[in-house]
Amino acid sequence: MNDVKVYAHRGYSSVAPENTMAAFRRAAEAGADGLELDVHLTKDGHVVVIHDYTLQRTTDGTGRVKDFTLEEIRRLDAGSWFGEEFRCERVPLLEEVLGLAADRDLYLNIELKNNQYPEPGLENRVLELTERYGWTGKTVISSFNHHSLRKVKREKPDLDTAILYMSHLFEPWEYVQRAGLSSIHPYWPTVTKEMAESCRERGLPLRPFTVNRAGEMRRLVSIGVEAIITDKVETLLEVLRDDR
């Protein structure tokens, strides 16, 4: 029997607007083990859950997230672009998602979105909040900014920290260990059986993203990844049920 964990990418983002409480609740209701989400800092230092550096793709606002206060961002509609039933969904605070995770006993994968623009203080604010909610033991911090992950690891050595990357890295398991980090979150086409075996031998969790096709899910399950990050929660759950 496999025990691959199901992480809902930006919540259950194929059935509800990404990175909203609606998407996170639907992921929990569908049976996901964990939630993947993205965080930025507002102008006044609050941690909000939104993928892009700018507002226009997923809200009715325009401009960069970091240039607005929380009050300004919370006035925006983050749901109508996906469907009329989601009108007036708001950009969540990280605290809201942590509260849901605690209520539903969900794992969290918090991605720090500070690769394109620096967001000083983002790491410490995220650590402060996860500790306040007592959720560090079920949280992994990931980022394409590996310097940021090193900072997190220095502040909280026991916290799971995962490199994100898109390209075919040479022996990424060696890179992660040299960097003093703890997990690997690769773009799914780069994942091989050799990678899965090498990660498993070293005790490095391997969690590919964003896997939406059943055939690819089956391949990754068969080679023994620790978790799969997907938009298609129910498809992955069905694959896992069939595999058992």
The one catalytic residue among 40, 46, 51, 185:
51
168 carries an active-site annotation? no
Question: What's the token pair of residue 168?
Answer: 């075919």
Contact 162, 182 (CB under 8 A): yes
- Distances in Å between the alpha carbon of 54 and those of 79, 148, 189? 16, 20, 28
Please report the DSSP string for 173-234 in residue order.
HHHHHHHT--EEEEBGGG--HHHHHHHHHHT--B--B----HHHHHHHHHHT-SEEEES-HH
The one catalytic residue among 9, 40, 46, 185:
9
DSSP classification of residue 19: T
46 carries an active-site annotation? no
CA angle 102, 229, 70 (to 5 degrees): 55
Other beta carbons within 10 Å of 105: 9
Owner of token pair 């940021």: 148
Other beta carbons within 10 Å of 227: 25
Q: Torsion over CA of 20, 28, 36 and 86, rounded to 10 degrees?
A: -20
CA atoms within 13 Å, Cβ hemisphere of 92: 23
Catalytic residues, by residue number, are: 9, 51
